[in-house]
Structure 1
Amino acid sequence: MLIINSFNEYKEYLGKELGTSNWHAISQEQINKFATATQDAQWIHTDAERCKTESPFGSPIAHGYLTLSLIPYLWKQIADIRNVKMEVNYGIESFKFGQPVIAGEEVQLHAKLEAISDLRGITKVVIQAKLTTKTGKKPVYTGNVVFLYHFN
């Protein structure tokens, strides 16, 4: 795991791969809980029997926003940003979905530092996020996440 303690340490990684997370299986239970939480229980996510006959995937798929919501959890497996008073999820940019995640598939986050700036003492970083599966030919998605760090 990468450990970063300051703006200057973070800046050393500009343009570099930061690492990959552990594999995480997206279960049907997790998909169902997300459907309940977001009130998005479309059958393509929650109805395994109907998916067998009507879905081009043959099985339920995870919500795209569920896969995006895993970024903070998976990011914490890649980097431990220390000496921080506060961390803020600031934005997401230019995300494109390349393939769905079938219920039960495992996903892994790959991160690269695209940009870093000092905004009057607040560190703004742009991390390229790419989510992959063990079986997929294309990434589940690629895009940039923006974090703000208030270092001590």
Structure 2
Amino acid sequence: MKKSTAYVKMKCHCGLNPVYVPCHQWTVESRDKQDELQSCKNRCCKQLECGHRCPLHCHPGACASRSQCRKKITLRCPCKCRKIEGPCCELGNSIVCGKECRSRVQEDEFKVKEPKSEPEEKTKGNRLGQIKILTALSAVVLFAAVALAYWLMQ
């Protein structure tokens, strides 16, 4: 029996590139080998939960976990006294350097929890400024539209 010379066209696992696989090869291979054939071999473009790009090549299924992320990062404590560098998988999200730093972290958390209220006059002033800006932008757009219409009539 003669092997088929046709190719199967499909999207790779990451969905960015077309992959062409010989039909005869696709039909006889195991599922694991088919997954390998369907890969475009480029680095996966998806993001991990830590925000870094997946370190694996184009693959089926879920991406690597944060525990596999080897991206080098730098962490600083909130008071900027201490800095550590290392792979993302080995460092947490934050570091604490001592009493001084802990008190600053607590102050920052308190500030975040308590929303700042702006004086009413300042809020009105901001709105008035925004209205003036929008009015000026509207005038510019209107002028541009009239100029374009005039130019097209020429």
TM-score in terms of structure 2 length: 0.25
Larger of the two Rg values belongs to structure: 2
Determine which structure has the larger helix proportion and give its number. 2
Higher relative contact order (CA 8 A, sep 6+): 1
Determine which structure has the larger strand proportion and give its number. 1
TM-score in terms of structure 1 length: 0.25
